[in-house]
């Protein structure tokens, strides 16, 4: 006989549960953490390098780098002064909470006050997988075009801060900032935005000030 | 490509509930998916048969219930929907400030078991 069994369980519940455990561990160790998402080439690694350049002397920073293959990004982060852990997702288009948990296990969280997680370059999948990080950050870059909020609404809806990178290229490409901002406003009216250039350093300071405002318990002596 | 990961999670949840209820077979799954959830039914269906072989879910049918997106304008308080799949400013007052009332659902509602 067929019997109907009520389930009512979120399809991401297993991932979300692991994410909650990661958050708890980060909170217990007073580590502030961000999940950086963007399309390939938007400047995730460059932003991390810039951030490390500004903060490596003041804070103890760990970087977890997610990539389909290679450790190029983790190597760049290590060179810039962070303790870096590479996750190779083996072809998967995003980091999930289980992968992050394994990477976090390689860090002694007590030694850090800031964790930067670099997600896989992709504007669709990463946003569906919560990682337990405190803030989700999206980087848009000028050469990608001004229509991205309209094409990838879920990504823009669920982030806490937006970085608009490569503003030094504005004179050279057709990028309608008003059109872009209208799309962002529609999807995420309260989104805090940082126009900047990782190459020239313009606008970086506002980002650094915002970010460091969340680090309550600096570990550097 | 994260439909594979999603499909695996659906199977895992269903199998757990099937085992808990001493099922010998799971015949149907009822999924509730909001219009704003980026998941492609056909892709989930495609992976489903591959990953459920030799589990309680083998041969089970997937039923998708789509929930339309509903927004409420923060300025004029009126409710509206997507316009042919696209998000637009409020059609009543053109404000671009709104809250999402529904459309982000993403859960397994129930299963039929034998």
Looking at the complex, does the CB of residue B62 fall below 8 Å from at least one CB of chain A? no
Measured in angstroms, the CA of B13 and the nearest CA of chain A are apart by 8
Pairing state between β A83-88 and A61-67:
parallel
When comparing pLDDT for A63 and B84, which is higher? A63
Rounded Cα distance between A121 and A131, Å, is 16
CATH (one of 3.30.110.60, 3.20.20.10, 3.65.10.10, 3.30.2320.50) for B3-68+103-113: 3.30.2320.50
pLDDT the model gives residue B1: 52
Q: Domain for residue A5, yes or no?
A: no
φ/ψ region of B84 (left if φ > 0, alpha if ψ in -120 to 50, else beta) reads left
Integer Cα distance of A131 and A152 in angstroms: 20
Rounded CA separation B2/A104 (Å): 22
Q: Output the CA angle B47-B49-B50, nearest 5 degrees.
A: 65
Nearest CB neighbour to B2, from listed A1, A6, A94: A94
Residue-averaged pLDDT of chain B: 91
Q: Rounded to two decimals, what is the model's pTM?
A: 0.87
Ramachandran angles phi, psi of A28, nearest 5°: -60, -35
Which of chain A's residues have a Cβ under 8 Å away from the Cβ of B14?
7
Q: What digits encode the pLDDT tens for the residues A99-126?
A: 999 999 999 999 999 999 999 999 888 9
Interchain proximity A8–B110, CB inside 8 Å: yes
For residue A108, what are its two tokens? 């002694």
Q: What is the pLDDT of residues A20-67, one digit of tens each?
A: 999 999 999 999 999 999 999 999 999 999 999 999 999 999 999 998
Q: Do A124 and B110 touch (CB under 8 A)?
A: no
* Shortest Cα distance, chain B CAs vs residue A105, angstroms: 22
| Cross-strand bridge partners of residue A6 | B110
CA dihedral A60, A138, B81, B102 (to 10 degrees): -20
Size of interface A-B (CB pairs under 8 A): 95
- How far lies A169's CA from each of A19, A141, A195, A199, B57, in Å? 37, 9, 12, 10, 53
Question: How many distinct structural domains can be found in chain A?
Answer: 1
How far A163 CA lies from chain B's nearest CA (Å)?
21
Confidence of residue A154 (pLDDT cuts 50, 70, 90): confident
CATH classification at residue A100: 3.40.50.300
Domain membership of residue A4 (yes or no) is no
Instruction: Give the confidence band of A220 by pLDDT, cuts at 50, 70, 90.
Output: low
Instruction: Tell me whether A178 touches chain B (CB under 8 Å).
Output: no
Give the tens place of pLDDT for each residue, B2-55: 788 889 999 999 999 999 999 999 999 999 999 888 777 888 988 999 999 999
CA distance to partner chain B, nearest, from residue A12 (Å): 7
The reply to whether A3 falls in a domain is no
Question: If DSSP states are collapsed to H, E and C, what string results for A30-99?
Answer: CCEEEEEEECCCCCHHHHHHHHHHHHCCCCCEEEEEEECCCCHHHHHHHHCCCEEEEEECCCCCCCCHHH
Q: Where are the domains of chain B?
A: 3-68+103-113
Structural domain boundaries, residue A159: 13-212
C-alpha Rg value of chain B to the nearest Å: 18
- Does residue A2 lie within any of the structural domains? no
Does residue A218 belong to any structural domain of this protein? Answer: no
């Amino acid at each position: 006989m067929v019997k109907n069994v009520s389930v009512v369980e979120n399809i991401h519940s297993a991932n979300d549960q692991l994410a909650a455990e990661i958050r708890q561990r980060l909170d217990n160790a007073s580590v502030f953490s961000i999940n950086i998402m963007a399309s390939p080439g938007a400047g995730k690694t460059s932003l991390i390098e810039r951030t490390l350049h500004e903060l490596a002397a003041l804070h103890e920073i760990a970087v977890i780098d997610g990539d389909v293959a290679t450790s190029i990004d983790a190597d760049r982060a290590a060179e810039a002064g962070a303790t870096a852990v590479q996750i190779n997702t083996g072809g998967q288009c995003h980091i999930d909470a289980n992968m992050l948990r394994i990477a976090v296990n390689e860090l002694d969280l007590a030694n850090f006050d800031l964790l930067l997680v670099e997600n896989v370059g992709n504007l669709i999948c990463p946003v569906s997988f919560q990682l337990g990080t405190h803030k989700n950050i999206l980087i848009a870059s000028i050469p990608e075009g001004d229509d991205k909020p309209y094409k990838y609404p879920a990504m823009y809806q669920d982030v806490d801060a937006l970085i608009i990178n490569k503003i030094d290229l504005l004179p050279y490409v057709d990028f309608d900032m008003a059109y872009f901002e209208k799309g962002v406003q529609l999807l995420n009216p309260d989104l805090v935005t940082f126009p900047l250039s990782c190459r020239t350093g313009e606008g970086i300071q506002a980002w650094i000030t915002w970010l460091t405002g969340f680090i309550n318990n600096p570990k550097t002596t | 490509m994260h439909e594979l990961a999603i499909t695996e999670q659906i199977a895992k949840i269903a199998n757990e509930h099937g085992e808990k209820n001493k099922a010998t077979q799971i015949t149907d799954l009822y999924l509730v998916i909001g219009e704003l959830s980026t998941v492609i039914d056909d892709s989930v269906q495609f992976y489903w048969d591959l990953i459920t072989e030799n589990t309680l879910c083998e041969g089970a049918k997937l039923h998708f219930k789509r929930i339309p997106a509903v927004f409420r304008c923060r300025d004029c308080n009126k409710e509206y929907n997507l316009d042919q799949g696209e998000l637009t400013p409020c059609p009543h007052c053109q404000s671009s400030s709104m809250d999402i009332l529904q459309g982000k659902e993403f859960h397994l509602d129930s299963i039929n078991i034998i």
